[in-house]
Structure 1
Amino acid sequence: MITNSLLHTITEKEKFIVSNIQQLYGGDINEVFHVSTSNGEKVIKLNSNTYLPHLFKREKEGLEALSSTHTFIIPQIEGWGEIENVTYLIMNYISSEAVTQDHWEFFSENLALLHQQTQEYFGFSNDNYIGSLPQINTPIYKNAIDFYRELRLIPQLQLAQQSGFTFKNADRFLKNLENLIPKEAPALIHGDLWNGNFIATTQNQIALIDPATHFGIREIDLAMMQLFGGFPDVVFKSYEEHFLLEKNWRERQPIFQLYFLLVHLNIFGSSYFPRCQEIISRFS
């Protein structure tokens, strides 16, 4: 548990005067605070500097990559460092508003624009994190199938096996991916786009937070959006008006949801196992 005295030590180091501290909830990895200061409203995220090495440095890189596309409002990094065995990241606070139809239109159009940013290889400049687990981003694959199989699914399947989870037909499923995943170019994606990382804000704009940014398969973002809900169907229809998806994309969504379900299995345990096995069996 982080004490207010530590927060005051951090803000003194960063030359802020604090007037109010409020803890924010919704994530599972960091302690997060809304801090009112002499320099405006801030968000301060805190984590042990031994638990997840370079976590905030990797988050900073991901946020900067998203910001460079000028598609969404992205928190601006105002400070980061280490103090008393704790790493911290300071960003500007983004206020939220009730979501309107104009917000959804802005979101779908700009998500399509974000996904049109590309490069030659799948991956990213550095490995980062998906939740509290390492996400390998070595840019060695030009093929979406190889990237998703080798750098996304297999590491999570191996981690699950180390915890005693064994899946039937996993080898056949991995082979079948060759016939299931479309051959598209790498797309810059948020990488963890559930509705908790989406903020409707002023002037009908959308802010995105807490990314697992990389050049990946754009349907991964859409799959995460549908996994836990919160995004109406109009978003997906509007997205396709701006950036048409390969046919049968809705039928493929469980294949890409499997990555996130395996991550949840490896973090939270066995309740996610049946859903993972069902997807593997269905596409084997």
Structure 2
Amino acid sequence: MERLLMKELASTSVSPAGGSGGGCISQGAGYLTDNYGHVFVKQNKKSGAATMFMGELEGLKALEGTGCIRVPKPIKVFPMPDGGAAIIVEHVHIKPLSPTCEAEAGTNLARLHLHNRELKEKAESSGDGNSLRYVAEFGFSTTTCCGYIPQDNTWTDDWVTFFTQRRLELQVNLAVKKYHDQELLHQWTAMKPKIPSFFKGIVVQPSLLHGDLWGGNIGQTAKGEPIVFDPAVFYGHDEYDLGISSMFGGFGKSFFDAYHKLIPRTEGFDVRQELYKLFHYLNHYNHFGSSYRGSCMKILKNLAR
């Protein structure tokens, strides 16, 4: 890997640093370089790894570009000689969120979600044409992955249509194909017509989302600054990012209180949270198997009532 990094980064010196590790999807390790400093390299041998990592790279760039939330600086994606691909990002020593940092993280996430609509408001008030920076639709400019499953980010002007077809239905179809789960399909068919009613009375504006903000994808730097990583970025409903954040722990009351101080809950919030959790349970079902099926079925049945 050291020789490969010297080539890809045009470095004259590369040495292992910071140990190695990995998650459920990819393996990573730290390296010290003469021209990029301390970097972290994550690699995956799956055939879709290049797509996955390019989506991550572009997502990190988009998040970084808002100036609202700290991410590891994205550097490069490159193919591995024996198949698959790798991504290089800034190496950051990350610790679990402290209670004090949690509130700042909640504020930063809300600022991220407000950033796109603030661009629109500034452009409309100044008339300077910067509305070109405002994103008016739901989706993203490239394919991103939640885990290793590619997301359909085709631009769509209606959130309910986007989320129903390009998030939930895609996952249901994958599960039916993979597990021949006809009961899941039946429950989905019963629940699907009710989805528009969950958004009655609210206007959903596109927000730039992290897309996979569970407790394992956020922490704090050595300086006590909140940092997020491993995103599945797209423009969507701000409430979507909160769905998985309440599923697996890792976030305290101060996080949500700080977030909702800037973006208050609206009518139907709790029901929509179940809808957004459904996506992640379906995604976990398709990644990790039947242990997540029960949660999928429970939410489908409850929402269909």
TM-score (norm 2): 0.85
- Looking at structure 2, the residues matched to 53 and 90 of structure 1 have their Cα atoms a distance apart, in angstroms, of 12
**How many Å apart are 1:87 and its aligned residue?**
1.8
Q: Equivalent residue for 2:225?
A: 205
Q: Equivalent residue for 1:236?
A: 256
- Looking at structure 2, the residues matched to 55 and 260 of structure 1 have their Cα atoms a distance apart, in angstroms, of 17
**How many Å apart are 1:221 and its aligned residue?**
0.8
**How many Å apart are 1:280 and its aligned residue?**
0.4
- Which residues in structure 2 correspond to 1:93-132 (within 5 Å)? 93-97=91-95, 99-118=97-116, 119-132=135-148
**Letter of the aligned partner of 1:226 in structure 2?**
S
SS in structure 2 opposite 1:138?
A: coil
Q: Equivalent residue for 1:226?
A: 246
- Looking at structure 1, the residues matched to 191 and 13 of structure 2 have their Cα atoms a distance apart, in angstroms, of 56
Q: 1:145 to 1:53 in 2, by over 3 A?
A: same
Q: 1:83 to 1:272 in 2, by over 3 A?
A: closer
Q: Equivalent residue for 2:187?
A: 169
**Conservation of the 8 A alpha-carbon contact between 1:258 and 1:276:** yes
Q: 1:98 to 1:153 in 2, by over 3 A?
A: closer
- Looking at structure 2, the residues matched to 83 and 16 of structure 1 have their Cα atoms a distance apart, in angstroms, of 20
**How many Å apart are 1:38 and its aligned residue?**
3.6
- Looking at structure 1, the residues matched to 262 and 12 of structure 2 have their Cα atoms a distance apart, in angstroms, of 43
Q: Which moved more, 1:156-165 or 1:117-126?
A: 117-126
**How many Å apart are 1:8 and its aligned residue?**
1.6
- Looking at structure 2, the residues matched to 107 and 16 of structure 1 have their Cα atoms a distance apart, in angstroms, of 38
**Conservation of the 8 A alpha-carbon contact between 2:41 and 2:86:** yes
- Which residues in structure 2 correspond to 1:17-28 (within 5 Å)? 17-21=13-17, 22-25=19-22, 27-28=23-24
Q: Equivalent residue for 1:268?
A: 288
SS in structure 2 opposite 1:45?
A: strand
Superposition CA RMSD, Å: 1.8
SS in structure 2 opposite 1:117?
A: helix
Q: Which moved more, 1:118-127 or 1:209-218?
A: 118-127
SS in structure 1 opposite 2:106?
A: helix
Equivalent of 1:252 in 248, 255, 272: 272
**Conservation of the 8 A alpha-carbon contact between 2:99 and 2:252:** no
| Percent of residue pairs identical | 28
**1:32-66 CA distance string (max 9 Å, x none):** 11223444221001123624342221111100000
Count matched residues: 276
Q: Which moved more, 1:128-137 or 1:181-190?
A: 181-190
Query: Counting helix residues as a fraction of each chain, which structure ranks higher?
Result: 2
SS in structure 2 opposite 1:176?
A: helix
Q: Which moved more, 1:118-127 or 1:42-51?
A: 42-51
**Conservation of the 8 A alpha-carbon contact between 2:77 and 2:87:** yes
In structure 2, runs of 5+ residues without a counterpart are 117-134
In structure 1, runs of 5+ residues without a counterpart are 1-6
- Looking at structure 2, the residues matched to 198 and 51 of structure 1 have their Cα atoms a distance apart, in angstroms, of 25
- Looking at structure 2, the residues matched to 255 and 187 of structure 1 have their Cα atoms a distance apart, in angstroms, of 18
Does the alignment pair 1:149 with 2:164? yes
- Looking at structure 1, the residues matched to 60 and 299 of structure 2 have their Cα atoms a distance apart, in angstroms, of 31
Q: Equivalent residue for 2:61?
A: 64
**Letter of the aligned partner of 2:13 in structure 1?**
I
